[in-house]
Structure formats: structure tokens, C-alpha cells
Amino acid sequence: MLVNGMYWDDRFPRLMSKKQLKEMYDAGDRKLLGIADITCDIRGSIEWTEYATEIEKPFALYDIQQGRMRDGLHGDEVMMMTMDQLPSELAMELSQHFGEKLVRS
């Protein structure tokens, strides 16, 4: 499982490309089962993030052979959670609590 929450723009190398993922799977290394791309940068640090998933349907699959994301949960593909609004789903109290712990006054 890879959880990605880092800042990225095209000045920086990708965390993982489509080519790297395909090479990994073609070599038999299938340990990467899922990705939570919280930043949801389309074709960004996780190159195969193609669209944002929604709260009602939080997961999609990345079909390595086809080279595309698709809705659904059934298959041997890499599971993706790419909700760009995920941080706003936290309750206000929880958000304030995290803020107080991270930024001391």
C-alpha cells in the first residue's frame, strides 16, 4: 500500500510512472496492491492517477495492461483511492485537533 500526500509539480520527478509499474508487474513483483493518492494530481506524482474518485465511490482500479483507470473493485488490478476532497471530509473538531498538535502556538 502506498499513501501519497506530497506536493508535486512538473519540475520534479514522478514518485512512480506507468512504465515503472508495468515493469514491476511484468517482473512478477505484485506486492503493490493499492494506492491512496490523497493529493490527486492528475497524471502527476503517481502518473496513472487519471481522475478523482468520489466519496460515494471511493475506489477505482488501474488496469496495468490497458494502461487506464476504471471504476470498480473486481479484478487483479491495482486499487486506487484518488479523492481530492478527502481532507474536507474530516470533522471540524478533528481538523482543529490535528492543527493544534501540528502547529504549536
Alpha helices in 6-86 (DSSP H): 18-26
What number of H helices and E strands is found in the chain?
2, 5
Using the CB atoms, write b or e for 62-83: b if 16+ within 10 Å: bbbeeeebeeeeeeebbbbbbb
40-66: average pLDDT: 92
Q: Which SS3 state, helix, strand or coil, does residue 74 take?
A: coil
What is the pLDDT at residue 27? 94
Strands 60-63 and 2-4: unpaired
The model's confidence at residue 85, banded by pLDDT at 50, 70 and 90, is confident
Q: What average pLDDT is seen over the chain?
A: 88
